[in-house]
Structures are given as structure tokens and as C-alpha cells.
Amino acid sequence: MRVLAGDIRGTKTALAVFEVTGKQLELAVLESYPSQEYTSLDEIVRRFIEAHEPGCGYASFGIAGPVRDGRCETTNLPWLVDAARLQQENGFQQVWLMNDLAANAWGIGALQTEDFHTLNEGSVQAEGNASIISAGTGLGEAGLFWDGSRHRPFASEGGHTDFAPLQTWRLPCCVI
């Protein structure tokens, strides 16, 4: 199976084609585009498909921003990304959109030991929730809830919050 995968961020958009066999991925094509030079993800996907003719039935895009009902108004770009439109216009069988850090959280389990660099030694037997934080154009965050047997990723837009005491300070001082 061939899959078009995308990492959609405010600064750059990376698109890649992977050959998928079971849990093994083999990179076939990788291309990077400066996001702000394009009016939409649709435009970049069309350009990629015209250049590489990947023949993918499926596509999945990790996007910097909240994804709701297969749509995302990107956080750092003036784009509206719509999975149904991408599917229809490009002939995919299925298109998935997910928050970019949630995509990282889903994929982290596929990494091998040699893919990691330990910054601070922890306990090998540690269990519990985890998080992923990534500084880029913005501050991406995702969580991994430990259900007792495995981590279950969830998206977060925690990088788009204010300092909580400032919010309290701005509230009117009255009780209703």
C-alpha cells in the first residue's frame, strides 16, 4: 500500500510517499515546500502529485492546529484544510487530518531505541501518562494517556494559552 503523508506547519510543509508493509514503512519520495508561499494545502498537494505521480490511495496529514470534523483552520497560516475536499479533488480512497503533535504521539511507538537520545535517565519501569512538546513556529503539545496497558494519544492546543493569573486579573470583580 502507498500512503501520502504530510507534516503541515507554519514555516514548511513536508509531503512524503511511503510504501507500507505491515508496520514497516519505506520512504519512496520526500519533498518540502515553504508553506507561506502557497495559498492552501490543496495547491501544494496538487503540485506534489503532478511532480511525482505517487499513486496513493490514502493520505494522512498532521497539521499545526486544532482538527474538528475532518477540518482545520490552521493556526499559523490563513488556510482551511478539509479532508473531504482533499479526498474528492485528488482521488484518494480516504484522507485523515490530525493535529501535528497528536500525529507524533501516534508514531512515537514505531521508533526504535537508536532513534532516541536520552537527555535525563529515568526509570525503566515507569508507567503513566506522557507528553510531547515541540517548539517550532508555535509550541506544539500532545498527551499520551496511559490506560493500564498502552498509551493513547490525544491532541492539545496547550501552546495557545495565556498565563492563567493574567486571565484572573482581567476578570471583573463581582459575584453574581
User: DSSP characters for 28-74?
Assistant: EEEEEEEGGGSS-HHHHHHHHHHHH----SEEEEEESS-EETTEEE-
Query: The pTM is what?
Result: 0.81
Instruction: Give the integer Cα–Cα distance in Å for 120 and 49.
Output: 42
Strand ordering across the sheet containing 67-68: 67-68, 71-73, 80-82
pLDDT digits 0-9 by tens, 94-148: 999 999 999 989 888 878 889 888 888 888 787 899 888 887 777 788 889 999 9
pLDDT at 175: 46
The pLDDT-based confidence of 46 (bands split at 50, 70, 90) is: very high
CATH superfamily of 2-100: ATPase, nucleotide binding domain (3.30.420.40)
At residue 134, the 3 state secondary structure works out as: strand
